[in-house]
């Protein structure tokens, strides 16, 4: 089995708030070298009205977002779970990060919805080739709510644990994905791209 800290993993959702952070938390606790990102233009969180989300720039600290929502309506944002989520996030890292702005390289990138997967693949294909190092981009669909994010984090951690057992991921990954899909009754999108 490969040492989990030797596998560089990124988990990507839209705003780097819920699904990617829950999986980031799980994978970090298992010893993986993990980072998390969003692909959106800005970070969007539900507001008090459906058509009035709270919008922040990537790089705004989780602490500042927490304080902003707490000042707007502590009871409302406690009841809908956002303050709890932000409290977890600020213990993991400083702020939401945008995938398209990172220079880091990964062995595996996991996205949580097809739209995010498409944006990651598009970004990777638009980059100048650096050293032809392969990266496996995988998508596991996860609904964007607290309960499904928790279940998604279990699934993603299970999948990455399976892949960590490989001594030759590039050759073994297709078989591993098939095994995971059958065992978990999930469809996994997979692309191999290069840095």
Express each pLDDT in 151-178 by its tens digit. Answer: 999 999 999 999 999 999 999 999 999 9
Could you give the residue ranges of the DSSP H alpha helices within the chain? 19-29, 62-79, 82-92, 114-126, 146-164, 169-184
pLDDT at 62 over 60: yes
* H or E element that contains 98: none
CATH 3.40.50.2300 region(s) of the chain? 8-40+98-194
CATH 3.40.50.2300 for domain 8-40+98-194, yes or no, is yes
pLDDT at 2 over 70: no
């Amino acid at each position: 089995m490969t040492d989990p800290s030797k596998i560089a993993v990124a988990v990507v959702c839209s705003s780097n708030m819920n699904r990617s952070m829950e999986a980031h938390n799980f994978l970090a606790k298992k010893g993986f070298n993990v980072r998390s990102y969003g692909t959106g233009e800005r970070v969007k969180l539900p507001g008090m009205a459906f058509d009035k989300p709270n919008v922040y720039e990537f790089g705004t600290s989780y602490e500042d977002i927490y304080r902003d929502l707490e000042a707007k309506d502590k009871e409302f944002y406690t009841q809908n779970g956002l303050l709890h989520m932000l409290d977890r996030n600020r213990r993991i890292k400083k702020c939401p990060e945008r995938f398209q702005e990172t220079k880091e390289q990964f062995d595996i990138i996991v996205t949580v919805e097809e739209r995010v997967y498409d944006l990651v693949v598009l970004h990777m294909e638009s980059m100048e080739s650096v050293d032809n190092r392969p990266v496996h981009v995988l998508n596991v669909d996860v609904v964007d709510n607290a309960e499904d994010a928790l279940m998604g984090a279990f699934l993603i951690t299970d999948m990455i644990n399976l892949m960590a057992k490989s001594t030759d991921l590039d050759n073994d990954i297709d078989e591993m994905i098939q095994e995971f899909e059958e065992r978990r009754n999930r469809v996994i999108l997979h692309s191999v791209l290069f840095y």
